[in-house]
Amino acid sequence: MHFMHFPATSVRSPGRAWCPGWGRLGGVADEVRGREVTQDDPVLARRERIRRWTELGTRIGYVCFGAAVVLFVVAFIADFPSWLVTAVIACMVAGSIVLPPAIVLGYGAKAADAEDRGEKFGY
Q: CA-CA distance, 57 to 98, in Å (whole number)?
A: 6
pLDDT at 1: 44
What is this structure's pTM?
Answer: 0.64
* Domain-located, residue 5: no
Find the helix packing angle between 82-116 and 42-77, rounded to 10°. Answer: 150
Backbone angles phi, psi at 28, to 5 degrees: -120, 20
* Domain-located, residue 7: no
* Domain-located, residue 32: yes
Nearest to 12 by CA among 34, 36, 46: 36
pLDDT at 119: 85
* Domain-located, residue 104: yes
What's the total number of domains in the chain?
Answer: 1
* Domain-located, residue 3: no
* Domain-located, residue 2: no
Structural domain for 30, as ranges: 18-116
Q: What is the pLDDT of residues 66-117, one digit of tens each?
A: 999 999 999 999 999 999 999 999 999 999 999 999 999 999 998 888 888 8
Give first-to-last CA distance, the chain, whole Å: 42
